[in-house]
Amino acid sequence: MSEQKTVYLADYRPYSHVVESVDLTFRLHPTATRVVARLSLRQNPARKDRDHLRLDGEGLKLISCKLDGQAITPAVDERSLTIAAHELPDGPFILETEVEIAPEANTALEGLYMSKGMYCTQCEAEGFRKITYYPDRPDVMSRFKVRIESDLPVLLSNGNPVASGEGWAEWDDPWPKPAYLFALVAGDLRAHSASFVTASGRPVDLNIWVRPGDEDRCAYAMDSLIRSMRWDEQVYGREYDLDVFNIVAVDDFNMGAMENKGLNIFNSRYVLASPETATDDDYYRIEAIIAHEYFHNWTGNRITCRDWFQLCLKEGLTVFRDHQFSADMRSAAVRRIEDVVTLRSRQFREDDGPLAHPVRPESFVEINNFYTATVYEKGAEVIGMLKSLVGDAGYKRALDLYFERHDGDAATIEDWLKVFEDATGRDLSQFKLWYSEAGTPRLKVEETWDNGVYTLTFTQKNPPTPGQPIKHPKVIPIKVGLLNPNGDEVVPTITLEMTRAKQSFRFEGLAARPVPSILRGFSAPVVLDRKAPPEERAFLLAHDTDAFNKWEAGRALAKEVMADIALKGAPVSPAWLDALAAVTFDDTLDPAFRALCLRLPGEDDIAQTIHAMGRIPDPAKIHAARREMTGALAIRLGEGLSRLYKDLDDNAPFSPSAAQAGRRALKIAALGLLSRRDGGKLAASAFARARSMTEEVGALSALLEVGQGQAELVSFAARWGRDANVMDKWHALQIAHAEPAEAAAVAARLIGAPGFDWKNPNRFRTVIGALAANHAGFHHRSGAGYRLVADWLLKLDPLNPQTAARVSTAFETWPRYDAARRKLARTELERILAAPDLSGDLREMAERMLAAG
């Protein structure tokens, strides 16, 4: 609402004061909570000047202010409380403020708010300033003591419990922390408890707190937590450091989860699971997010960020760690493929459009808008590249040094790279470009075969991005293996280190011209531009020993086929059909891998590919092409599909294991194709017999895709109508499978239905996100998709700007399309910008997106 200023990395200065300790007292009340904050302060010796004291504060009603016990009247405006330098004592002093806030009226879900009768907080990135006056920046770390007064039975905060009685509880966190890691929860909650003993013998009480009735759906989250704690000890040598670890599930939450010290707060959809309510994908996500937030205890909390420009220091690293964990818990190959699919569909998309920015941005308006795929996913890929370059042993030495040198610090990317330099003796100045330059490099490959010498020549192009016209060559680790024409590997994986714009690598002593397997494991986040005949792709799909590149060969082939159909009306390639049939029926391959091969590239992905070819994507044609390929595949796979389905349709008791999930995924892929042949008969019976949510959703999805499933939708709603997180699937499915011309109308009907709680971020994201993800529906030439999304962004923005701004990225690809669509999209973005009282969050996004076209 108030106009925002741009913040620059280059302007960083340490804070004027040190906060030795903080004592907070909360007298909870829905409309009039009192917060008393007692800060022990002294001047920061790192600052030579003698500055005033400026505390952040937003939406606070100041009741009183005392300096060393004397009432004073500080200068207060909409964003801060300031005490002039000459009014401050020379030595240490105590500042005590009392403010009043109204958690019940807090719809933005930042700061202290209420969700279904329960109090909870979300302070990252700048929410603590909505609770009390404080230097709300991550480099100000302090010891927090908290007293909560409330009649609610469960009162939680960070650290260890120290004392409690009727209507109150006190907590003490011995670890200095920035305010963004503060948390408080109060409610009528039940615990699912367990205990853990750390490697050095420290006992820890573990609790997952949920609303009464949900206790029996916490077992998987608890199991994931225990495995995460053990894994971090075994792989990184990191132990937990408090007597208790609490997790709370809340229904109203802007993000997935939050790593507050000793008191993680989770969106309930990433905690609660039972076979009847959670899909295999839900199980996977719960495990990964529990791990992610737990891992932050060391990468984020013990070592935090100096300022928000360094966000990737904690997020990129923690995503990298949770990927490693998932790879160890499940199939590493399947996880890598899935992670790359996500990287391309979210981060490459972002990097290729108006919102492109470096992994470490140099300026921002609203920090909440920089929790992006680039900071997270590309931030994790950059660490993966570092690890490839320095090797596993080098990585381990560097991380040990990082924890040793920076424990207790608020650190920077420079600090992070320095430990790698010191631990390995490498110069990382060129590597650092990955942090400062945006855009996805494109890698071209040429090969020559000459008298037994095989040469690969790579050329890298680093495209311009908004605000960064000039780019420099990056360090690119390219993992390569070579196969001979029989399909045997003649050169096992090696890492080529590319540092120049154009560079050649020679291989000698080969008996025959090899087939190269390039960028194994997706060793760098680049687009590999390499023309290859379909036969070579099919050959690699059949023979590559690198699971990622095996899959990638089929993926590249499918993309080419889809683009050819959409652009030239080409027929479905028999080479692709044959290659896929061979994989589908190869029982020696992991079912999960086969299921991944059967999942065709998404329509947005093809639009991105076509755009990169310098052509204009037509969403309707891409949609038709994908359908045509699925239809042709169903015919090509023929009777074998029924056999495959029967083989996989066993009666084993349910387990969320990756192995069983893989079988279910392949079974459902087969069911989807079979439905094209039998009009949904088998899917209808599969729905009726479903023994897990994965099967239920899989069957319903197969039915909707062939225009059936109306009765099943009704019975699903009758069964799950009271579980909003389950009903999200019901809403999403209908929009995902709607015909392009109908999608906006379907979404409008669902979001506008009486009783639909669109103010809840999960509900809003489900419906508007599903419409945005229906590529042909969102980009329908009528403009109905664009209009509906803009209408609802404008409706949500005054209540919850953070979620409105995040969902607005639906529009980030608009410059790709034809003039008529661009005009429609521009009209909607301009309409958003013209709204009175538009939030700073949504304004920044709309302005950046519009600047592109």
Sheet holding 515-518, edge to edge: 489-498, 476-483, 515-518
Q: Which two tokens stand for residue 633?
A: 């595949």
Of 514, 525, 510, 526, residue with least CA distance to 459: 526
Q: Give least dist CB 321 to Zn ion, A.
A: 10
Q: Which two tokens stand for residue 111?
A: 């700061």
Nearer to Zn ion, 309 or 551 (CB): 309
Q: Which residues contact 257 (CB under 8 A, 6 or more apart)?
A: 264, 265, 266, 267, 270, 289, 290, 292, 293
Q: Nearest residue by C-beta to ligand BES? A: 256
Cα distance from N-terminal residue to C-terminal residue, the chain? 25
Q: Give least dist CB 831 to ligand BES, A.
A: 27
Q: Are strands 263-267 and 363-364 parallel, antiparallel or unpaired?
A: unpaired
Nearer to Zn ion, 228 or 318 (CB): 318
Q: Which two tokens stand for residue 278?
A: 């959670």
Residues 403-462 that bind Zn ion (CB under 5 A): none
Nearer to Zn ion, 58 or 315 (CB): 315
Nearer to Zn ion, 318 or 369 (CB): 318
Binding range to Zn ion, per CB under 5 A, among 47-55, 308-316, 516-524, 672-680? 308-316
**Residue 359 interacting entry, from ligand BES, Zn ion, none, C-beta within 5 to 8 Å by type:** none
Residues 99-138 as x/- pattern, contact with ligand BES by CB under 6 A = -------------------------xx-------------
3-state SS assignment for residue 400: helix
Of 2, 144, 117, 121, residue with least CA distance to 59: 2
Task: Give the Cα separation of 794 and 788 in Å (integer).
Answer: 10
**Residue 125 interacting entry, from Zn ion, ligand BES, none, C-beta within 5 to 8 Å by type:** ligand BES
Q: Give least dist CB 385 to Zn ion, A.
A: 20
> Taking the CB of residue 733, how many other CB atoms lie within 10 A of it?
20
Size of the site for ligand BES (CB under 6 A): 17
256 binds ligand BES (CB under 6 A): yes
H or E element at residue 597: helix 591-598
Q: Give least dist CB 255 to Zn ion, A.
A: 9
560 binds ligand BES (CB under 6 A): no
Q: Are strands 304-305 and 410-411 parallel, antiparallel or unpaired?
A: parallel
Nearer to ligand BES, 111 or 785 (CB): 111
Binding range to Zn ion, per CB under 5 A, among 2-10, 225-233, 310-318, 574-582? 310-318
Task: Give the Cα separation of 50 and 689 in Å (integer).
Answer: 73
Q: Which two tokens stand for residue 400?
A: 């040990």
- Among 145, 217, 296, 321, contact with ligand BES (rule: CB under 6 A): 296
371 binds ligand BES (CB under 6 A): yes
Q: Give least dist CB 296 to Zn ion, A.
A: 6
Q: Give least dist CB 111 to ligand BES, A.
A: 12
Q: Give least dist CB 322 to ligand BES, A.
A: 6
Residues 153-182 that bind ligand BES (CB under 6 A): none
Binding range to Zn ion, per CB under 5 A, among 8-16, 318-326, 519-527, 627-635? 318-326
Nearer to Zn ion, 317 or 644 (CB): 317
Of 352, 515, 372, residue with least CA distance to 441: 352
Binding range to Zn ion, per CB under 5 A, among 111-119, 315-323, 380-388, 435-443? 315-323
**Residue 747 interacting entry, from ligand BES, Zn ion, none, C-beta within 5 to 8 Å by type:** none
**Residue 255 interacting entry, from Zn ion, ligand BES, none, C-beta within 5 to 8 Å by type:** ligand BES
Q: What is the DSSP letter of 632?
A: H
Q: Give least dist CB 311 to Zn ion, A.
A: 9
Q: What residue type is 45 in one-letter code?
A: P
What size, in residues, is the chain?
853
What residues pair up with 163 in beta bridges, in sequence order? 170
Task: Give the Cα separation of 89 and 17 in Å (integer).
Answer: 12
- Among 259, 351, 552, 812, contact with ligand BES (rule: CB under 6 A): 259
**Residue 258 interacting entry, from ligand BES, Zn ion, none, C-beta within 5 to 8 Å by type:** ligand BES
The beta strand positions in 216-347, using DSSP E, are 244-250, 257-258, 263-267, 304-305
Q: Which residues contact 368 (CB under 8 A, 6 or more apart)?
A: 125, 126, 802, 805, 806, 841
Nearer to ligand BES, 554 or 840 (CB): 840
Binding range to ligand BES, per CB under 6 A, among 291-299, 327-335, 448-456, 631-639? 291-299
**Residue 256 interacting entry, from Zn ion, ligand BES, none, C-beta within 5 to 8 Å by type:** ligand BES
Size of the site for Zn ion (CB under 5 A): 2
Nearer to ligand BES, 251 or 259 (CB): 259
**∠ CA 665-597-548, rounded to 5°:** 110
Q: Give least dist CB 525 to ligand BES, A.
A: 17
Q: Give least dist CB 586 to ligand BES, A.
A: 33
Of 116, 124, 141, residue with least CA distance to 44: 141
Task: Give the Cα separation of 819 and 825 in Å (integer).
Answer: 10
Residues 594-653 that bind Zn ion (CB under 5 A): none
Q: Which residues contact 267 (CB under 8 A, 6 or more apart)?
A: 249, 250, 251, 253, 255, 256, 257, 762
Q: Give least dist CB 292 to ligand BES, A.
A: 4
Q: Which two tokens stand for residue 517?
A: 């397997």
Binding range to ligand BES, per CB under 6 A, among 97-105, 288-296, 525-533, 578-586? 288-296
258 binds ligand BES (CB under 6 A): yes
SS3 of 528-578: the string is EECCCCHHHHHHHHHHCCCHHHHHHHHHHHHHHHHHHHHHHCCCCCHHHHH
Nearer to Zn ion, 313 or 596 (CB): 313
3-state SS assignment for residue 215: helix
Nearer to ligand BES, 728 or 828 (CB): 728
232 binds ligand BES (CB under 6 A): no
Asked whether the beta carbons of 598 and 629 are under 8 A apart, the reply is: no
Q: Which residues contact 482 (CB under 8 A, 6 or more apart)?
A: 454, 489, 490, 491, 507, 510, 514, 515, 516, 517
Binding range to ligand BES, per CB under 6 A, among 286-294, 381-389, 484-492, 789-797? 286-294
Binding range to Zn ion, per CB under 5 A, among 47-55, 137-145, 316-324, 360-368? 316-324
Residues classed as catalytic? 293
Asked whether the beta carbons of 475 and 389 are under 8 A apart, the reply is: yes
**Residue 776 interacting entry, from Zn ion, ligand BES, none, C-beta within 5 to 8 Å by type:** none
289 binds ligand BES (CB under 6 A): yes
Q: Give least dist CB 284 to ligand BES, A.
A: 11
Q: Are strands 17-27 and 142-149 parallel, antiparallel or unpaired?
A: parallel
Q: Give least dist CB 371 to Zn ion, A.
A: 9
Binding range to ligand BES, per CB under 6 A, among 4-12, 22-30, 289-297, 680-688? 289-297
**Residue 124 interacting entry, from ligand BES, Zn ion, none, C-beta within 5 to 8 Å by type:** ligand BES
**∠ CA 196-200-204, rounded to 5°:** 25
* ω into 125 cis (within 30 of 0): yes
What residues pair up with 359 in beta bridges, in sequence order? none
Asked whether the beta carbons of 481 and 487 are under 8 A apart, the reply is: no
Which residues contribute to the site for ligand BES (CB under 6 A)?
124-125, 255-259, 288-289, 292-293, 296, 315, 319, 368, 371, 376
Which residues contribute to the site for Zn ion (CB under 5 A)?
315, 318
